[in-house]
Structure 1
């Protein structure tokens, strides 16, 4: 049943307290299907597809470079960063506001960490030519990212034919978790080393919108470290102190 068709603060709170919070604490991940419903989810998809058609999506960057390693062998997505106020992104903004409200209800029950801000939304497309993303951790170095949220936009997706599965390797577990990138599915998981994950090769165009919610104290400390490092660089092109502007795609 589409969640958005009967959404209210009490519905969101029930979803947060009865499903998302217990799952994050017990397993480290959770997903909700039919989050916006066919109509609203379809409008979000239309806006993302228009971004793709218009050339707004560009090759995803890497935080650093490795000699002899081609970027596409690590990540093959095309991305754009969206704040939500841009023209033509009204439905994306609606989605972000709803996720913000849901996460704020979860945050109060997820321990003492203060989750008060998030990244811009990363609109991502894997173009369907076998592109994927190798196994990685979103926040391996305490950059502040606490919770990763991904909204998938792929209608009639068949993982056996199209690939594109997000595979999670829960820390300390002997199993893996495969998440199919199905239309109107919203996924949550811890961003740190508890959840290494990969995007398996996609053989059909695959769309997703990702946002990261920050631990405020860890984020402030990461910014302080970056400022200190930047100040210590006196010569050269400053590449050693570039802050990561393109978090790993999911």
Structure 2
């Protein structure tokens, strides 16, 4: 049985998005789901990781000066991926009931940052585009320490750091895609995560 997000937690997320635009959670995804996702990333031979690109459509390109991670998209036909995607669907429905955001489509990918990899400061969506309204980042790194690097840094609209987040197993970060520039600092050891985006339509969105 897939874990259910409680109404109290959904209230907490909605309130935080209204008040400050982002939230960190440490217990929304059950441990067994986190560990299954991590095991898949570490042992699954059929995951087709590719160098991550920037841009969309014909403008999409690999630029290792901006980002140097590798990605593989989640698939609802895979039972491990489906557990995580079902929880994200609960999140979508809960926020739509509370905030009338009109969230419809969700896409997400595994991201592996090998030692030395990074992703420079960027926005997930152009302001007013509504391609992506809400970003999620879920971390899959047991016993991560600050000295390991790889922190997610969230900036405010004046480019001042708001939060520096260690990518520790079980931590979920949710923020408004158009509002917060963010970056992944260079990592000193392999860093695993899942990045995802809610949008208002089911149009295909290429690359992250």
For the aligned pair, the TM-score class normalised by the smaller chain equals 0.7 to 0.9
For residue 106 of structure 1, give the secondary structure of its aligned residue in structure 2: helix
Q: Give the aligned partner of residue 42 of structure 2.
A: 49
Q: Give the aligned partner of residue 164 of structure 1.
A: 150
Structure 1 gap segments, 5+ residues each: 224-242
Does the 8 Å CA contact 2:153/2:163 hold for their aligned counterparts?
yes
Aligned residue among 124, 133, 136 for 2:111: 124
How far 1:172 sits from its partner (Å)? 4.1
Q: Give the aligned partner of residue 206 of structure 2.
A: 245
How far 1:38 sits from its partner (Å)? 3.1
Does the 8 Å CA contact 1:76/1:126 hold for their aligned counterparts?
yes
* Cα distance per residue 1:19-56 (max 9 Å; x no partner): 101111111111210333433321111112224x5562
What is the TM-score normalised by the length of structure 2?
0.87
How far 1:215 sits from its partner (Å)? 2.4
1:13 aligned onto 2:7: yes
Q: Give the aligned partner of residue 202 of structure 1.
A: 187
How far 1:107 sits from its partner (Å)? 2.0
For these two proteins, the number of residue pairs brought into alignment is 204
What is the TM-score normalised by the length of structure 1?
0.74
RMSD: 2.4
Structure 2 gap segments, 5+ residues each: none
How far 1:212 sits from its partner (Å)? 0.6
1:137 aligned onto 2:123: yes
| Matches of 1:45 and 1:36, distance apart in 2 | 13
Does the 8 Å CA contact 1:12/1:102 hold for their aligned counterparts?
no
| Matches of 1:106 and 1:79, distance apart in 2 | 27
Q: Give the aligned partner of residue 95 of structure 1.
A: 84
Q: Give the aligned partner of residue 179 of structure 1.
A: 165
Higher helix share: 1
> Quick one: higher RCO (CA 8 Å, sep 6+), 1 or 2?
2
Which has the larger Rg?
A: 1
Q: Give the aligned partner of residue 102 of structure 2.
A: 114
Q: Give the aligned partner of residue 39 of structure 1.
A: 32
For residue 184 of structure 1, give the secondary structure of its aligned residue in structure 2: coil
